[in-house]
Structure 1
Amino acid sequence: MSIQICNSPFLPKFAHTPRAQISTRSTRIFARTESNSSDQQQQLNLSVLRFTFGIPGFDESYLPRWIGYGFGSLLLLNDLSASAPITESQLRSEALGLSLSAFSIALPYIGKFLKGSETEERTLPEEGEQVFVISSEIGDSLKEDLAWGTYVLLRNTSTVAVMISVKGELCVRGYWNCPGEMSKNQLHDWFKRKVDENGLADVKETLYFPEYGGSDLSWDILPDGTRSLFVQPLVQNVNEPQGFLLVASTAGYAYSDKDRAWIGAIAEKFRG
């Protein structure tokens, strides 16, 4: 499977009229699937979840740093509290432990350096609406998988907007630049019309725009400030597109090779 990384504007079939300006509106959720507390405790049937602690404001990528601080502090405390003379072998062990702690502290910085480009932090769009829309024509099992799939994408990546299309049926979640005061059915039909207008239903190649041009590309359903865009098609073969998975972020270079592979693994769950 090839991935087309695009630094230039969209292909002609994605061209659209310039984005209309919208006024700032208060965040609202247009549509929501029926759920209760027991639904949230059902086992997720995706098997592609990333490990996270789920602590608000805690970035798991910096976990090695905090482990290094913790063990380094314990080593220093042990050295300072020792009453007997310190042996040469103990000094070597403590020096090795402090070296490993220093390496753990520096590991997040080394990882960012090896990526080749620094990933920016996402920011929530100041304009646009937060929506959660799922087609009513799909079965409950697929509906649950789509709901969980969009949730983990928003939770575990820099994504602020996600759309999954399976055989013409949509699940849309996150921040989108859409009209206000629409009913659930009207909003769903509006998204389907936009998908057809922008040619997404016929996408057959994986597309990645790490420097999405925003107003230059004028794809008007994406939230203002979109910097990265990744589209993973769902195809059985080149002649039978089954749908697509689209994620957008307000951070530039938001999706690393590992991120794109993981998103592709989620897309595989909805293929066929």
Structure 2
Amino acid sequence: MIRYLPLVVGTLGGFALLANRMVTANLTNSQSRADALGVLLSAVLILVGLLWQQAQPKPPDAVNLIGEEGLEIDEALPDEIKTELAWATHILLTNTVTKVVAVYYDRKTILRRGILGKSNQVNIGTIAARVMKTQKPIYLVKLELYPGRVEFDYLPENTQGVIVQPLGEKGVMVLGANIPRSYTKQDENWVTAIADKLTYNLEKTSL
């Protein structure tokens, strides 16, 4: 609200000066100079307000993701892996903008947690396959802009942003957010660190 203050004050000041000029029959030189100064100040305030709108764009709006909140985990996993997955996803869901996490490893979906989508299986499409091949994460800042979004049917249909993070050569961890362009560089580094730890434990444990 503060960023609108110069624009509002400048506009009101300009109207006040105009109204004062219209009701004043005889203007003295000093009044004319004061009016000119007032007009100048109002114009400066309006300009500052407009510049603030450009310098401080409105942040993207959050949406309510469509789906039910839940936790699905492969019961065949060793207890230590279940614990590791529970810890990792809890950290991501409570410390970042992430609202849903899905983990695919060794040709099967081993976890979905958060606001769940319609499909209960992670679909390895072009994007996820590329991540596993290159071992580099992909951040889709606004999912609706990407044709490849159809492969994410296991996420809520109105998911706004997605990170696809590699878990070695056998898997991926997919994170969904309810705000576009919401993951910061620090968030991405945090996701990478957690994924590396999770990958280490998955690789050393026979699934």
Residue pairs, 1:1-272, within 5 angstroms? 120=60, 122-125=62-65, 127-169=66-108, 170-178=110-118, 190-191=120-121, 194-196=122-124, 200=128, 203-204=131-132, 205-213=136-144, 217-218=149-150, 219-235=152-168, 241-271=169-199, 272=203
Higher mean alpha-carbon deviation, 261-270 vs 170-179, is at 170-179
Instruction: Write the distance in 1 (CA, Å) between the matches of 2:112 and 2:78.
Output: 16
- The answer to whether the Cα contact below 8 Å between 1:208 and 1:229 also exists between their aligned partners in 2 is yes
- The answer to whether the Cα contact below 8 Å between 2:137 and 2:166 also exists between their aligned partners in 1 is yes
Taking structure 1 as the reference length, the TM-score comes to 0.45
Indicate the RMSD between aligned Cα atoms, in angstroms.
2.7
Residues 211, 199 of structure 1: CA spacing in aligned structure 2 closer, same or farther, 3 A cutoff? closer
- The answer to whether the Cα contact below 8 Å between 2:123 and 2:154 also exists between their aligned partners in 1 is no
Shift of 1:252: 1.1
Taking structure 2 as the reference length, the TM-score comes to 0.58
Shift of 1:221: 2.4
Residues 210, 147 of structure 1: CA spacing in aligned structure 2 closer, same or farther, 3 A cutoff? same
- The answer to whether the Cα contact below 8 Å between 2:123 and 2:153 also exists between their aligned partners in 1 is no
Q: What SS does the corresponding residue of 1:268 show, helix, strand or coil? A: helix
Instruction: Write the distance in 2 (CA, Å) between the matches of 1:215 and 1:200.
Output: 14
Q: What SS does the corresponding residue of 2:170 show, helix, strand or coil? A: strand
Instruction: Write the distance in 2 (CA, Å) between the matches of 1:215 and 1:223.
Output: 15
- The answer to whether the Cα contact below 8 Å between 1:214 and 1:227 also exists between their aligned partners in 2 is no
Residues 203, 215 of structure 1: CA spacing in aligned structure 2 closer, same or farther, 3 A cutoff? closer
Larger radius of gyration: 2
- The answer to whether the Cα contact below 8 Å between 1:207 and 1:231 also exists between their aligned partners in 2 is yes
Shift of 1:168: 3.6
Q: What SS does the corresponding residue of 2:71 show, helix, strand or coil? A: strand
- The answer to whether the Cα contact below 8 Å between 1:120 and 1:252 also exists between their aligned partners in 2 is yes
- The answer to whether the Cα contact below 8 Å between 1:121 and 1:158 also exists between their aligned partners in 2 is no
Q: Structure 1 stretches of 5 or more lacking a match? A: 1-112, 180-189, 236-240
- The answer to whether the Cα contact below 8 Å between 1:165 and 1:245 also exists between their aligned partners in 2 is yes
More helix, by proportion: 2
| 2:118 partner letter | C
How big is each residue's C-alpha offset from its partner over 1:160-187, in whole Å with a ceiling of 9 and x where there is no partner? 11112233451110112216xxxxxxxx
Q: Which residue in 1 is equivalent to 2:13?
A: none
Instruction: Write the distance in 2 (CA, Å) between the matches of 1:197 and 1:266.
Output: 23
| 1:144 partner letter | T
Q: What SS does the corresponding residue of 1:265 show, helix, strand or coil? A: helix
Q: What SS does the corresponding residue of 1:254 show, helix, strand or coil? A: coil
Q: What SS does the corresponding residue of 1:145 show, helix, strand or coil? A: helix
Shift of 1:201: 5.6
Report % sequence identity. Answer: 26
| 1:139 partner letter | P
